[in-house]
Amino acid sequence: MIANLVTRVDNLAKGGWLNTLLSLLAGASMIGAFAPLSAWFLVFPGLVWLFLPLQSLTMKQALYRGLWFHIGFFSLGISWVHVSIHRFGNVPLALSIPLTLSFILALSIYASLTIYIVKRWFSHLSSPLYFLVAIPFVWLIVEWLGNYLATGFPWLTLGHSQVDGWLSVVAPLLGSSGISYLILLITGIILVGLREGQVALKYLTTLALPIIISVLVLHQIQWVRVSDETLKVSLIQPSIPQDKKWLIEERRKTLKYFHETTAKLDSQLVIWPEGAIPALESQVTNYLQTIDEIAKAKSQAVLTGLAVNEGGKFYNTAIIIGHGEGRYNKQHLVPFGEYVPLESWIRGLIGLFDLPMSSFSEGSADQPLLTTNNWNITMAICFEIIFKDIVANQLPGSDVLITLSNDAWFGDSLGPYQHLDIARMRALENGIPVIRATNDGISAFIDHQGRVEAKMGKFEKGVLTAEVSKVNGETPYRKLGPLWAYLIILSIPSLILIVTYRKKPRS
């Protein structure tokens, strides 16, 4: 029965409209493993569908199938990109749709590199080595390079789908990349079982049992301990519509709201979201001085996001005023949202972009931690939280990771929920509490195990307050960093592939 099913999938995968449709649907269904549905187990059927017939296909057939799979995956998964471009970038549909589709196609072509490399260099391998070694190895290399190529966009990586799954315990040891590898290894076990039948039992026993035992053991390990030292923190979520945020007539209302709301709070730290103040720092010096005086009188610190002009350059910045000190300039900017690549000719070519702050400069990679009340703070502004190396580089000596964001750009889409889960993964990997302050949701307090302790939903307006606890100790991932995690994960499959490649039959 299983053999017949595998044969039917092999034949179907060779072409036809049904193959295209099912590949699209399989890719789209895998998004169900990510937030907001968070049905983590849905990651496996999609991957099995993608890879099951791979050995029996020609290069052209395999790439065709893989491309449509990833188009389905990204079309649903990052559909929020169109919301940002069309609704808030004021780009007409005639241009916003082609731009979004081009982005989806570029991501899909890049993701399909895994199939190309596996087919090109590892087709000589037996099914067990093909599915258990080559595919996980190549996928992870491609995923890693995706952090850096064309500014990087590691948004929907496989590991992020498991923040609520049973594999999440691997994150403090090997990060989300380690989870991605285990997902692919488990998928490989399923694939070998389907293709090899009874012959596969030895592989299932040899690999499946150690994975299960390791996960059970990791569930019992507490890498860090919660201390008695706490900080009372309040997040202000103003829920200002993005299309009104930068209107001059709205500025007074916005500043008044933050002023009056902060004045009522007795928390040690009050956090406003990214770009909370819709003006340059130099335009609101008197206002900031007033907030500074009010906060100091209460031994309170206020952390806010705003735009800063320093030496003729604009920065997306977070500053602490009152009972604290420090500022952080965002390092990794959003293309077209905060800066325009090849600006000298692209702005003239498509002057239809109407993004209010798209001329920012990058902050330095070496910036001191912000401080308040004997707490050291690592900052990540907006989508910097998706870059684990940026976070890791700033974590030494830090007690808490605070991320400011303006997810109003996402509208009512999947984006804010995915963004929150990525922040949860950073907390879980590094064993550190994460505080997330946003304009219109989802603001949240996340503990060192990636659990959401309190949150304020999308489009809600108000204040969220909680006690945040320091932790003692470090996770192995925080000690070693992302690069070492990759090297550890890939070391064994690398050796296996080197040995088997040398034994490759010569034509």
Single out the catalytic residue among 119, 143, 245, 330.
330
Identify the pLDDT of residue 127.
85
Mean pLDDT of 288-305: 97
CATH class of the structural domain 226-330+359-474: alpha beta
Mean pLDDT of 213-218: 89
Q: Are 500 and 125 in contact (CB under 8 A)?
A: yes
pLDDT digits (tens, 9 = 90+) for 432-460: 999 999 999 899 999 999 999 999 999 99
Percent of the chain's residues with pLDDT above 90: 68
Whether pLDDT at 32 is above 90 = yes
Rounded alpha-carbon distances, angstroms, from residue 181 to 186, 333, 469: 9, 29, 32
- The lowest-confidence range among 120-129, 131-140, 282-291, 498-507 is 498-507
Distance in angstroms (rounded) separating the CA atoms of residues 159 and 361: 31
Single out the catalytic residue among 119, 143, 245, 382.
382
Using 50, 70 and 90 to split pLDDT, how confident is the model at 464? very high
Question: Helix, strand or coil for residue 504?
Answer: coil
Using 50, 70 and 90 to split pLDDT, how confident is the model at 3? confident
Whether pLDDT at 267 is above 80 = yes
Mean pLDDT of 133-151: 90
> Which residue is associated with the tokens 């780009």?
91
DSSP 119-152: HHHSTTS-HHHIIIIIHHHHHHHHHHHTTTGGG-
- The lowest-confidence range among 240-249, 385-394, 396-405 is 240-249
Using 50, 70 and 90 to split pLDDT, how confident is the model at 85? confident
461 is catalytic: no
Identify the pLDDT of residue 86.
77
Residues forming a β-bridge with 438: 405
User: Of 323, 260, 263, 324, nearest to 296 (Cα)?
Assistant: 323
> With left for phi above 0 and alpha for psi between -120 and 50, is residue 224 left, alpha or beta?
beta
User: Of 318, 324, 321, 287, nearest to 305 (Cα)?
Assistant: 318
Single out the catalytic residue among 119, 245, 274, 281.
274
330 is catalytic: yes
Residue type, position 462, single letter = G
| DSSP summary character for residue 313 | E
Question: Residue ranges per domain, the chain?
Answer: 2-221+483-502, 226-330+359-474
Percent of the chain's residues with pLDDT above 70: 92
Using 50, 70 and 90 to split pLDDT, how confident is the model at 15? confident
Residue 420 half-sphere exposure toward CB, CA atoms < 13 A:
31
47 C-beta neighbours (distance < 10 Å), count: 22
325 is catalytic: no
Mean pLDDT of 467-494: 91
